[in-house]
Structure 1
Amino acid sequence: MKKLTTFRLSVTGYLLLVIGYRLFSSSRKQLSFIAIFSLLTVYCSLITANAQDSTSIRQLNEVVVSATRANQKTGMAFTNVYQKDIKKVNLGQDMPFLLNQLPSVVVSSDAGAGVGYTGIRIRGTDPTRINVTLNGVPYNDSESQGTYWVNMPDFASSAQSIQVQRGVGTSTNGAGAFGASININTLGYEQDAYGETNFTVGSFNTLKTNVLASTGLLNNHFVVDARLSKLSSDGYIDRASSDLKSFYVSAGYYGKNNFIRFNAFSGKEKTYQAWEGVPESLLKTDRTFNPYTYDNQVDDYQQDHYQLISSFKLNNNWTFNPILHYTKGRGFYEQFKPEDKYSNYGLPNVVIGTTTLKKTDIIRRKWLDNDFYGATYSFDYQSNKKFSANIGGAWNKYDGDHFGEIIWAKNASTADMRYRWYESNALKTDFNIYTKGYYQVSEALNFFADLQYRTVAYDMKGTGDKRQDITQKSDYKFFNPKFGVNYQVSKTTSVYASYAVGNKEPSRQDFVDNAPKAPLAENLQDLEVGYRLAGAKLSFDANFYYMNYKNQLVLTGQVNGVGEAIRVNVPKSYRAGLELSATVKLAEKWKLAANTTFSQNKIKNFTETVVNYDGDADKINKYAKTDISFSPNLICGGQLIYTPAKNVELAWMTKYVSKQFMDNTSDDNRSLDAFFVNDIRASYSIKPKIVKELTFSLLVNNIFNHLYESNGYTYSYIYDKQVTTENFYYPQAGTNFLLAVKVRL
């Protein structure tokens, strides 16, 4: 046993050194020296330290994320996903695909196979409405308010738990939640030291390799976790390749009633652009068509995150949880633009002899260079079993530069080959404070209240990519109250209800796309009523929701020049639905988990503008009680799990999504067909003497080779007196597989 322990410690030390070397070889040398020193110091301590389990440490970790999480007494709809469940499906696909089986979820991939640019919608709401936090720190991009999972590849390998709240949810930090919140926690720890490597190979030359290591808990005080990952894939769509790298390092010190933990993680992505989609005319004959052929038509971006997380027990009643954070992002889109007008870039025409050239081939880059930093905090109060409270908030600042460069032109009209045709800066300050309280009226009855005040200040200066002036200042002040009640009918059943108000500011792109008219802030009133049953063999949840919007920004169906969806305000709209989910133990070795969402998603009055390129007036179409785009009326998911032996698990997974409209006209000619996809998952684990665990996993997606599209866009225009509608789709891969091996030391 002593030799085996020494072997494991040696491997752990080796993996820590590998990750340290990766850090040192990057440009972040100051962090690298600190990280390497910490890793080596802890490894030396590992040889002599004896770790012991500590329940108080786990409780401290949970306190930090509990401030923004819902619980059984909140009166809201949510789902918890734990590490053991994440590991089963984490074979290489991005985070949205790992959450695909949750209620009301629809996922999509630009490249078609779940690697690279991926997206998630919950209750029909797009990613700009889904608040994402990492250990309570905002992750949504401050300007677009979207979440780019491609910037944090393989982050799921560091996640301890994920909570998905549907609806407005509880008060949180960062972007307003208008459909859901995703709260990711990485603060768990394992008592014993370990080293682990995972290797995945799959269709479309998909490869994933990572190494993970942990010191375990040293002397009941210290812990260091680390991960280094690399993913690559050619993608289902032609040339939709992905080259993704990431690392994660976390070092913590735990006292009896406090802890401090430093997290550093980074993602580097280079993906070939596939955001233009496949034209409808080619969908049946060339599903993998990609119009881009220029070798370096890529998105190249890196994002570095630093978090200083701590928790201090002030006395028997109060705990203080402060967090400091900083994120650095920089990168560009590179594009080849054939026969583009000089005038689009503010450049003079080129005169060659007697010939005047108004167009030329160019290669351009659109750059982002941004800093995001701030602090979040919470005070937790626990007086007795009847009353508990939480006071928290955050102050965050975003400073982002946007600029476009021409790096090559076939016929240059300027000697400056780094010519900038637009340049702008955006400052955004986000402040919020909230207080939450739970009061246990009786053994069965509990009341919940949550009051949040949030301010947002925009300050934009400069020009957009169409050389339009986007200089403006906007300030918003929001009050977001939430109330809930929970009644425990019996030991296994409860009923609940909640009413929540959410307000949300427009994104930077909303200002740019709707210029010169400024978009309005949005308001949402969310009513949730539910029933829960938690039995030994059967668990069942039923949740009714009614989300009433004022000035909701809805997708028009069109996209801008970099594939981002264009949105406009509509005065009145709503989403109403019933979410059902159940887990049943059918027999000793069989378990069934299923969920269904029935919904209606309507805009009471919608005005469509069809651009007229003939020079006449645009065509105006009015619609009454029309469907909101990308909001299916029926979503079903399910898993049938069979465990023939303790170390073997087989699962059949299904997903059905009904028809979706790509704009707000309810026109069947501008829709996505319903799809029904089936996957199979299998895993087999053994524990040989030389390693702790050896696991083989297989995931076969879309086993019946169903040809479907989960996303798309549309636009209409008038030219030569004819109305033309152009539809573009994002086809998803047919039958494909991922085969993985895990070795844990």
Structure 2
Amino acid sequence: MKNFKNLLFIALFFATATVLGQTKISGIIVDETNQPLPGASVLEKGTKNGTTTDFDGNFTLSAKSNSGVLVISFIGYTRKEVVFSSSKTNIGSIKLVEDQGSLNEIVVTATSFAIDRKTPVAVSTIRAADIVVKLGTQEFPEILKSTPGVYATKTGGGYGDSRINLRGFGSENVAVMINGVPVNDMENGSVYWSNWAGLSDVTSAMQVQRGLGASKVAVPSIGGTINIISKSSDAEKGGNIKMSTGNNGYQKYGMTLSTGLLDNGLAITASAAKISGDGYVDGLQFSGVNYFLNVSKVFNDDHQLSFNVIGAQQTHGQRFNTRTIAQNRATEQGGKRFNPDWGYRDGQVENISYNFYHKPQISLNHDWTISDRTFVTTALYASFGNGGGRRTQGSGKFTNNDYRLGDIDQPIDFDRIVQENKDKGALGSTDVFAASNNSHEWYGVLSTLKTDLSENLKLSVGLDGRYYVGDHYYEITDLLGGQYYLNPNKNDNNFNEALQVGDRFNRDYEGRVLTTGTFSQLEYSVDDLSVFLSSSISNTRYGRSSFLDDATNVNGQVSDNINFLGYGTKGGANYNLDDNHNVFANIGYFSRAPFLTGGVFLGNGENVDPNEDATNEKIFSAEIGYGFRSEKFNANVNIYRTSWLDKSISPAILDPNNVGQFLNTNITGLDALHQGIEIDFVYQLTDKLNITGMASLGDWEWKSDVKADVFLDSGVLYREITVNADGLKVNDAAQTTYAFGLNYKALDKTSVFLDYNYAGDLYANIDFSRGTEDGLNTWKMPAYHLFDLGFNHGFIIGELDALVTGNMNNIFDVEYISDAFDNADTHSAQDAGVYYGAGRTFSLGLTVNF
């Protein structure tokens, strides 16, 4: 018994010593303008004990000893060490500085994050806190609308159908990277944001690099780069539950859980959310499930593995057809909500344009610190996409106003179309649903080695390899009451073949892309001067196989492999004049392979003969910039000039002599000049009031007249056209944008913001394939002004931190045109097809952290 008492006394002694040895340390992490840094990492040096800051930059850490050192870090900022002791548990405000000694050089290298006052590129960084507060029911790209050079819209308004332009370049010419992995479609360069709907819940930081950018890849972008960094081993232990509601039935529920960094070096973060709604525009109902998983393992100071899975399985209705301004305003919905592409079938909403897709992306990142001077970061990744878009096929009843439930602005009467198909009996359906199915397998590796050649000189070299195979085919999905559908392809051996559900027609082909390349970069830094020079070379190999068995494609065909050699070089320098002022300049030239779709191969897939006119696009870009940094005020000025030579476009157009069939154009040799000036600033007027602003003034024009060909789907020449594009304004993006924002911190955990955005010098999307004798008359759309209002309020529920957010976008319900398609005959407002932007929308969200 005595021995038991002694053992109990010893155990109590050690337990007490352990408790007394722990010290609860608190503080707040801010940037140079005293704005909080949510998600900053706080680690007790020499241990794996750490935490991250909350929405307001606050943290509390139970240290394992009575004194020691805290290591404070955040992506793109200088790491800072702060001494703590039990005599002072609140260490107050800790300020991090954006500079060359960033959080984690491996992370910055792997994701090509630019560093303020060092990397000589124009850059804007959006933190997780801004996304949480301002996104609401907006699409993910819309969070960037106050960024210089950016124009983002919802296009037709369907969930995930938003698009983004950067300095006048579309998404196919803007590289989007998630954790260092490229996600642009390898056949056409597109980015489909509905595939990444869950990113807003798990993003640590997002950076927009305009122009040449700092990304280390073998195939550079033209307009810029969007780098998105998700949560990893820096995630705080715990989690949250999120709930939000909004206009038109918007509902979202989600949960995120994280182990934090455990003593064994393992960290797991998982997130999932369910989202649904009716859509602001009529007939655009949507639903989706977003998910994210990160498993990270810190083996030691030299090795770290990070496994990521992200995806979104979703379905949504779409608005495919446009109407003129007069036609929109004459509708009962007043234009903003009108959608001609939906109706009712058996009392349920039915769409003639409907999207369904699932594209999970898997990546494994390995960070290896070989020595104090050398490290390697490697990402292996894979993506498996499956889904497509449903469209209508047939005689045109779906767009015939006689088949509506009332006037021309009313929904489509699908029941009538079904009944007429039934009545035809053995004659078969004249109108059916068909799906354009698109699946792919995509594998890649991106590896970078960085070594210090000397104290001032660093060398980076890397490999970039990507292989992609995509399957594309049309198939009958619904006979809409009929017994079969007559194959509409007049080239088919079995033209009168009765197609059933699941039968393929019109297209059935495989596209293959293999890109291999290498890149290198030298960085020289001494005192206030930073200089870099980089180069890259790559080979892109394309191939296509057609499986459609018809008169011109007996038993299918396989193309030869076609190779395009690309290369590029860029350089730049930044000089810090003093602690407040810096200047930079960059210049670059590169030659890039054309895209497989519409560039290397023309037609809908049956044609496997390569386009003889396909050639590399050439880009020359130069930029100069100035930055000012002080405790209260930060500002940037950038002037850029980008020449785009031998640009190729291949728009598909409806064949006027064959309903439901398309013609394909081959327009090559186009030149364009994009130049402009960008200004942005942040001003901390008081401790409570923060002011932001930007102005982007662009002058983007086409600079050449060219001859072009129009082809049938089979590749047979249909006619020649002349495109007089010299002097034509680059369209489809606002060339002049302004933004102004106020953020007022009413209480310690309560803020209110007001944002203003202006878009002007916006020209309707022109149809080059029609040819034009006077492209200068392209319709100039009306400029518009929008205001957004929002708030966030933090509070305590029991022992849990909670945050409520509210957003109202377009608070004055402004009627504006966000997208337009020019009428090639009149170039007038009266005849242009338009999409109206969303009117007033709102959302209310609650996040409970535990």
TM-score clears 0.5: yes
Q: Secondary structure at the match of 1:626?
A: coil
Match of 2:628 in 1: 533
Counterparts of 1:62 and 1:632 in 2: how far apart (Å)?
36
Q: Deviations over 1:429-471 (max 9, x none)?
A: 111211112112x423222111111221111121799998794
Match of 1:85 in 2: 130
Match of 1:41 in 2: none
Rate the CA distance shift 1:612–1:222 in 2: closer, same or farther, 3 A: closer
Amino acid in structure 1 at the alignment position of 2:197: P
Matched, 1:404 2:474: yes
Match of 1:126 in 2: 170
Which residue of 722, 726, 733 corresponds with 1:624?
726
CA contact (8 A) 2:153 2:162 kept: yes
What are the within-5 Å matches in structure 2 for residues 44-63 of structure 1? 63=106
Which residue of 139, 143, 151 corresponds with 2:187?
143
What is the Cα deviation at residue 76 of structure 1? Answer: 1.3
Amino acid in structure 2 at the alignment position of 1:457: R
Match of 1:363 in 2: 433
Which residue of 812, 815, 830 corresponds with 1:704?
812
Counterparts of 1:260 and 1:530 in 2: how far apart (Å)?
37
What is the Cα deviation at residue 503 of structure 1? Answer: 2.9
What are the within-5 Å matches in structure 2 for residues 525-564 of structure 1? 525-553=620-648
What are the within-5 Å matches in structure 2 for residues 419-568 of structure 1? 419-421=503-505, 422-440=507-525, 442-462=526-546, 471=559, 473-511=561-599, 518-553=613-648, 568=667
Rate the CA distance shift 1:214–1:467 in 2: closer, same or farther, 3 A: farther
Amino acid in structure 1 at the alignment position of 2:155: D
Q: Deviations over 1:666-709 (max 9, x none)?
A: 55663432111111111111134321x11111111001111112
Match of 1:203 in 2: 247
What are the within-5 Å matches in structure 2 for residues 558-637 of structure 1? 568-606=667-705, 620=722, 622-637=724-739
Q: Deviations over 1:109-132 (max 9, x none)?
A: 1353x8431111111111100101
Q: Which moved more, 1:284-293 or 1:520-529?
A: 284-293
Matched, 1:101 2:146: yes
CA contact (8 A) 1:611 1:716 kept: no
Counterparts of 1:644 and 1:564 in 2: how far apart (Å)?
59
Counterparts of 2:206 and 2:293 in 1: how far apart (Å)?
19
What are the within-5 Å matches in structure 2 for residues 640-659 of structure 1? 640-659=742-761
CA contact (8 A) 1:717 1:724 kept: no
Q: Secondary structure at the match of 1:510?
A: coil
Percent identity over the alignment is 19
Amino acid in structure 2 at the alignment position of 1:248: F
Q: Secondary structure at the match of 1:218?
A: coil
What is the Cα deviation at residue 478 of structure 1? Answer: 1.3
Q: Gaps (5+ residues) in structure 2? A: 1-14, 16-62, 76-101, 344-349, 398-421, 485-496, 767-773
Counterparts of 1:156 and 1:642 in 2: how far apart (Å)?
23
Matched, 1:684 2:733: no
Report the structure number with the largest CA radius of gyration: 2
Q: Secondary structure at the match of 2:395?
A: strand
Amino acid in structure 2 at the alignment position of 1:532: G
User: What is the TM-score when the length of structure 2 is the normalising length?
Assistant: 0.74
Rate the CA distance shift 1:712–1:521 in 2: closer, same or farther, 3 A: farther
Counterparts of 2:460 and 2:280 in 1: how far apart (Å)?
47
Match of 1:283 in 2: 328
Counterparts of 2:624 and 2:585 in 1: how far apart (Å)?
4
User: What is the TM-score when the length of structure 1 is the normalising length?
Assistant: 0.83
What is the Cα deviation at residue 157 of structure 1? Answer: 1.2
Structure showing greater relative contact order (alpha-carbon pairs closer than 8 Å, 6 or more residues apart):
1
Matched, 1:315 2:371: yes
Q: Deviations over 1:8-59 (max 9, x none)?
A: xxxxxxxxxxxxxxxxxxxxxxxxxxxxxxxxxxxxxxxxx98997669988
Q: Deviations over 1:365-394 (max 9, x none)?
A: 111121001211111113554122211221
Counterparts of 1:401 and 1:394 in 2: how far apart (Å)?
24
What is the Cα deviation at residue 616 of structure 1? Answer: 12
CA contact (8 A) 2:639 2:676 kept: yes
Matched, 1:675 2:724: no
Counterparts of 1:312 and 1:202 in 2: how far apart (Å)?
45
Q: Deviations over 1:330-351 (max 9, x none)?
A: 012122224169xxxxxxxxxx
Q: Secondary structure at the match of 1:156?
A: helix
Counterparts of 2:528 and 2:123 in 1: how far apart (Å)?
21
Q: Secondary structure at the match of 1:625?
A: coil
Between Structure 1 and Structure 2, how many residues are aligned?
681
Counterparts of 1:466 and 1:579 in 2: how far apart (Å)?
54
Q: Secondary structure at the match of 1:576?
A: strand
Structure 1 segments (4+ residues) deviating >4 Å? 49-62, 354-359, 463-472, 512-518, 554-567, 607-613, 615-621, 664-669, 722-726
Q: Secondary structure at the match of 1:278?
A: coil
CA-atom RMSD, angstroms?
3.7
Q: Gaps (5+ residues) in structure 1? A: 3-48, 342-351
CA contact (8 A) 1:137 1:173 kept: no
Counterparts of 2:708 and 2:829 in 1: how far apart (Å)?
13
Amino acid in structure 2 at the alignment position of 1:263: N
Amino acid in structure 2 at the alignment position of 1:714: D
What is the Cα deviation at residue 587 of structure 1? Answer: 2.0
CA contact (8 A) 1:248 1:263 kept: yes
What is the Cα deviation at residue 283 of structure 1? Answer: 2.5
Counterparts of 1:479 and 1:360 in 2: how far apart (Å)?
51
What is the Cα deviation at residue 555 of structure 1? Answer: 8.5
Match of 2:22 in 1: none
Matched, 1:239 2:283: yes
Counterparts of 1:317 and 1:420 in 2: how far apart (Å)?
57
Rate the CA distance shift 1:308–1:364 in 2: closer, same or farther, 3 A: same
Counterparts of 1:420 and 1:601 in 2: how far apart (Å)?
43
